[in-house]
Amino acid sequence: LSKLEAVGIRGNLLNWFCDYLSSRMQATVIKGDKSDLKEVPAGVPQGSVLGPLLFLIYINDIVNNIRSVIKLFADDTSLSLALNNPDLRAEILNYDLEKISTWAKKWKVKFNQEKTELLNFTRGIQPNQQLVFDSTLLNDTTHHKHLGVVLQNNCRWDEHIRSISNKTNMLISCLRSYKYKISRMALETMYKSFIMPHFDYADIIWDNCTETQSNMLENLHLEAIRIIIGGVRGTSHQKLYEESGFCTLKERRRRHKLLMFKKMQLGLCPQYIIDLLPPLVSARNPYHRRRPLEREVPSCKTELLRKSFILSTTTDWNSLPVSVQQTTSLSVFKRLLCSSDNNVPAYYYIGDRIAQINHCRLRLQMSNLNNDLFTRH
């Protein structure tokens, strides 16, 4: 209640919250047996609409007097610091960890030390530093899953790509079991709803993975396409993409990066992301240019950095036609990026499943006709 008052909630509204939060009772029900009611002296009502907002207000001042970069997402708290001096870095982080520990004791919030992990991002030798949180020494870890993205200490994506591969492989196996049972439209909807989001999630960040890792995901994508349309192995990949109307995952990631770049240009992102935009070439050379929205490509020394979001997307952005760059509508920009996609005719979805598969294989010249068999073998 004191924190609600501190953010400006007073008068009748504060009295309402006082009544809402006070004298709350809860019970546990297991298989129809109900426990006695017990008063809840602290916390916010779980499962309520106001619960998450009240929790955020309660922990919002944890960021005060923190010297490193602190990010909050629901009940996840992350500290980060980029310094070449390991001793100074450890000193600042230990100071902040002590501040957070003191805050937690004051406001009766318990952090799980066992879930608190230390990750050093470097391409060189891993530093040996002692970080202590609530009297517990933090151990170095090689990778950590943060908001669904597996981050590695060597700045690579092996673990994250493996995680995507494992999840999608299992789901594609489920999709395969329905290959001859449900229609092409239903299979396509299932793929777009339950499997494709795993390929797309945070892909603008990890797109600088290796070619081998990219091909691993592409093969899973192609396997799903074969299941949806009823194709067979050995079919030209280009024909599979044309028949299904899907584009490659690599192309999807390129479009997602350009879409994010456009949002940054239109000011539809937080300011700290907009600040990452490279300057316009015309800002440094004021003379008239044919491409007024062309941006400077930052210099780099490593392939990993060259393929990172800002550098690779700036290059792709500069290669776009001026008419596409100058669009002020995000939906129009997205439509122009997808203008080269192959539209699937409606009659591809007509008929029972076996007929759909036979027609597809005829179109792909992968049917059991003698001529197709002769050509294949």
Residues 105, 115 contacting (CB under 8 angstroms): no
Distance CA 261, CA 333 (A): 11
* Residue 228: φ, ψ to 5°: -65, -50
Residue pointed to by tokens 């002590």: 98
Q: State the Cα–Cα distance between residues 120 and 93, nearest whole angstrom.
A: 12
The token duo for 307 is 């393929």
Q: Long-range CB contacts (< 8 A, 24+ apart) of 207-212?
A: 207/253, 207/254, 207/257, 207/307, 207/309, 207/312, 208/157, 208/304, 208/305, 208/307, 208/308, 208/309, 208/312, 209/156, 209/157, 209/160, 209/161, 210/156, 210/157
Q: pLDDT of the chain along its 377 residues, tens only?
A: 888 998 999 999 999 999 988 888 888 999 999 999 998 887 787 778 888 899 899 988 899 989 999 998 888 889 999 888 888 988 999 999 999 999 988 988 888 777 888 888 888 777 777 888 888 888 888 899 999 999 998 889 999 999 999 999 999 999 999 999 999 999 999 999 999 999 999 999 999 999 999 999 999 999 999 999 999 999 999 999 999 999 999 999 999 999 999 999 999 999 989 999 998 888 777 776 677 788 988 888 888 888 999 999 999 999 999 999 999 999 999 999 998 888 999 999 999 999 999 999 999 999 889 998 898 88
pLDDT number for residue 281: 85
Of the CA atoms within 13 Å of residue 258, those in its CB half-sphere come to 25
67/98 Cα distance (integer angstroms): 12
Q: Output the pLDDT for position 179.
A: 94
pTM higher than 0.75, yes or no? yes
